[in-house]
Amino acid sequence: MVNLPVPTENPINDCGAGNEALYKFYAAVMIIIFILALPLNASVMHLFIFKLRFWKSNTNNVFLFNLVLADILLLFCLPVKAYTFIGGERRSGNDTVCKAMLFMLFLNRGASIAFLTVTSIDRYFNVVHPGRKNLLRALKKSPQISILIWLLLLPLTIPTMLKNFECCNSHKTVGNSTFSDDVLIKDVVDSAREVVFFSQIVIPFIVLVYCTVHIVNRLRKKTVGDKTKLRRAVFLVTSVMVVFSICFLPCTIARMVLLIARVQDWKDIKEDKAAMAFDGFMVLSYLDCLLDPLVYCFCSTKFKALYLSNYFPFLVNGDVIVPDSSNSAGNTSNPKRSNII
């Protein structure tokens, strides 16, 4: 009688696409996002560098430039991700490519969330506490605060640079594992990894809700005077909330469901469906690269006027101030009159 080998748990098997047709659809969506978002973000970066000269500006331009930089770096990951999906895998089988992808994805997605949040916090202080001195207002005048944000995000990517993260093997019971030092260490690493993932989204979302509620209340209480700046602030924080609600909250909920499926050892069919849903919502989160330009427009009327005058001049005529490209930091001392339709 021939003894058949006993199947063992293999992370590669856990990373196989359960429905190849569905994952090819996910790949097509990522390719479309890449094709649409890359020229859009490249044009935005061109304006920040050559027209607004963000490094000489005392406004939110420094934060917004870092936001578009994070989006562009994230976009370069999408073709590689799409290629692995087309090949029937949830992640690359190459260890180096896999870790590099996880590093780029989580660093730049974290940076995008961080700079969206910082922009909203800055607007909150300007609207709700206009006369109060705060550390953010002092730091945003120099690029050091942006560099510090990037440096703080680097150690947060270390727990996620593991192959079994993307395939969600956290806290998975393997065989007849008993309590041992190796199991305990694995549980600690898994828990740390998940804490990083959820905290990157949940904490900023709570901050954004707080800022949005107080800015809206401030607008309602203001009965006299010009409300234009307050309305613009409401538009800004509302647009950020929409970006979060569409892009990041669904994948967070799906991640939680998939973890429950792993821990409670659901049947394979349910677990596969949870994994496919999580991957789909992660693809949806990349839509953030297309929605962020809405934040740019709501945050800066100068940026909106400059963008339209450079790329869509047929939409403008002579009533809106467009910053002179020869003037650093977007100063409008020699403006050109135009009107956005």
Nearest Cα residue to 85 out of 285, 283, 288: 283
Neighbouring residues of 187: CB distance < 8 A, sequence distance ≥ 6: 171
Give the whole-angstrom CA distance, residue 243 versus residue 109.
Answer: 13
Give the whole-angstrom CA distance, residue 70 versus residue 104.
Answer: 9
Query: Whole-model pTM?
Result: 0.81
All structural domains of the chain, each given as residue ranges with its CATH number in brackets, are: 12-299 (1.20.1070.10), 304-341 (no CATH)
Give the whole-angstrom CA distance, residue 211 versus residue 127.
Answer: 10
Nearest Cα residue to 258 out of 281, 237, 242: 281
Give the whole-angstrom CA distance, residue 310 versus residue 82.
Answer: 33
Give the whole-angstrom CA distance, residue 331 versus residue 341.
Answer: 23
Q: What is the pLDDT of residue 38?
A: 94
- Residues 310-323 have pLDDT tens digits of 988 887 765 554 45
Which residue positions in the chain have pLDDT lower than 50? 1-12, 174-177, 321-322, 324-341
Nearest Cα residue to 309 out of 327, 65, 301, 61: 301
Give the whole-angstrom CA distance, residue 122 versus residue 124.
Answer: 5
Nearest Cα residue to 271 out of 285, 281, 257: 257
For residue 36, give both structure tokens.
């649409």
- Residues 243-276 have pLDDT tens digits of 889 999 999 999 999 888 877 877 666 778 888 9
Q: What is the pLDDT of residue 12?
A: 40
Nearest Cα residue to 247 out of 192, 295, 302: 295
Continuous segment of H or E residues that includes residue 185: helix 181-221
